[in-house]
Amino acid sequence: MAQTTTLPGMTGRTWTALLTLAGAAFATVTIELLPAGLLPVMADDLGVSRGSVGLLVTAWALTVATLSLPLERLTRRLPRREVMVGAVLVSAAASLLAALAPGYGVVVVARIVAAAAHGLLWSLLVPYAASLVDERHLGRAVSVVLVGPTAAGIVGVPLGTAAAELVGWRAVLVGAALVLGVAATALVRVLPRPTDAPAGPGGPEAASGGRDRSLVAVAVTATFGALLLVGHFQVFTYVGPLVTRVAGMDSAALGGVLALFGATGALGLAVAGPLSDRFPRAALPVTAVVFAATVAALTTVDEGTVQALVVIGVWGALIGLFPPVFQATIMRTASPAARGAAGAVVVTALNLGIAVGAASGAWVLENVGAEALAPTAALMVAAAALGLTVSAGRAARPRGPRRGGGGRRPSPQPAADRRPRR
């Protein structure tokens, strides 16, 4: 029987599953980012400084970076769907704990628990999405899932911030817990049951253990990807001083600049999947090279407002493009059995890139000045682009057959192409 498709080679059931994964991503990333919007009201209610509330974001990133890989390995023999559902439910429980917290210390504990669950979930989301599709449509699948965190920043956090003004931050966290509960229910109802799940992370190959040589290439790519994000967050975290002190714009223009950045970022996300599928080897290094050129162009934003807006718009498109292209490349680089571990490596790399970028950008801003942010970031991104280009070139070289295990397994056939043999 023919199946209705909404994307080439992707069935309606697959599309529904990917959207459900994106919904879970939306809910958990909204929880991750909410303290940024709730900072004033949380600080006043808990009787602590705004800086203390801001540290909740830092504690989250460090927890995710530290625990994602160990938790993925600890749960690797368990069905992936059940682990993801459990992680979402733990996040919901932690959100409720934070909502009922009598003081700041309990909120910190709740955030650390939620961050650990978030890291585990994100270690599995993209690998699971990759296991639902064939190699030709992997980039599209990853892009669909990553719509979730994009929507969290555009819709979830502003909506939560506005609601806190009406009902208080504790009620917002209770509402977030309910949304997480709905997401967990949807995962159970929509995702394939363990016995029907496609081959991929968490399957027999993963349970067999052993060293997988594809993880070396994964680690190299992830390291350079993290370095690119260090450069990005060095300057993006302090885009306010860049716009006002360097580009000479009025502080009132910052909101419009960020809106432009978000809009072009959504455009970049929209084209990332097709681009990655059309050019699976070249998409990441080319994106990184253009990224480096764009960040270098930020050093010239003092020459005119129009030029600054054009450069910032292209920069926004590239940061929308980079994460799905980066993660799709990682999934293609890892063998099917190693995709769960590769997902955890990606989560660790992304969070370290964010944390190191923000911290080093703060040092540059305080000790050198806003004018040095873009040049410093440009050097970081250029080094990352060079590393990604060289590693992509090495991966493209033909290699003779190797003896022993650890090589790449052929990608599983799409479900629609599997036929019983007589």
**pLDDT value of residue 312:** 85
Residue that is written with structure tokens 């054009």 in the block: 310
Among residues 155, 183, 207, the one where a domain terminates is: 207
Give yes or no for residue 414 having a pLDDT over 50.
no
**pLDDT value of residue 45:** 83
Query: Please, which pLDDT band fits residue 259 given cuts at 50, 70 and 90?
Result: confident
* pLDDT tens figures, 207-229: 444 577 888 899 999 999 999 99
The CATH number of whichever domain residue 392 belongs to comes to 1.20.1250.20
154 shares its domain with 279: no
Task: Say which residue, 370 or 24, is predicted with more confidence.
Answer: 24
Give yes or no for residue 300 having a pLDDT over 80.
no
CB environment 253-287: b (16+ within 10 A), e (fewer): eeeebbebbbebbeebbbebbbbbbeebeebbbbb
* pLDDT tens figures, 301-328: 665 677 778 888 898 899 889 999 999 9
Q: For residue 421, with 0-12 CB atoms within 10 Å meaning exposed, 13-18 middle and 19 or more buried, which class applies? A: exposed
Among residues 188, 207, 226, the one where a domain terminates is: 207
Indicate the average pLDDT of the chain: 81
Is residue 412 included in any domain, yes or no?
no
Tell me how far apart the alpha carbons of residues 43 and 32 are, in angstroms, rounded to a whole number: 17
Express as a percent the part of the chain with pLDDT over 90: 32
Tell me how far apart the alpha carbons of residues 318 and 261 are, in angstroms, rounded to a whole number: 10
Q: Which of 65-74, 116-125, 168-177, 255-264 has the least mean pLDDT?
A: 255-264
Query: Please, which pLDDT band fits residue 187 given cuts at 50, 70 and 90?
Result: very high
199 shares its domain with 253: no
Query: Please, which pLDDT band fits residue 417 given cuts at 50, 70 and 90?
Result: very low
Among left, alpha and beta (phi > 0; psi -120 to 50; other), residue 4 is beta
Phi then psi dihedrals of residue 170, to 5 deg: -65, -40
Is residue 307 included in any domain, yes or no?
yes
121 shares its domain with 165: yes
Task: Say which residue, 381 or 249, is predicted with more confidence.
Answer: 381
Q: Which of 23-27, 85-89, 289-293, 335-339 has the least mean pLDDT?
A: 335-339
Give yes or no for residue 198 having a pLDDT over 50.
no
Query: Please, which pLDDT band fits residue 165 given cuts at 50, 70 and 90?
Result: confident
346 shares its domain with 292: yes
226 shares its domain with 138: no
Query: Please, which pLDDT band fits residue 8 given cuts at 50, 70 and 90?
Result: very low
Q: What is the domain range of residue 245?
A: 214-396
Give yes or no for residue 251 having a pLDDT over 80.
no
Q: Within 13 Å and on the Cβ side, how many CA atoms surround 266? A: 12
The structural domain count of the chain equals 2
- Cα 399 to its chain centre, rounded Å, is 32
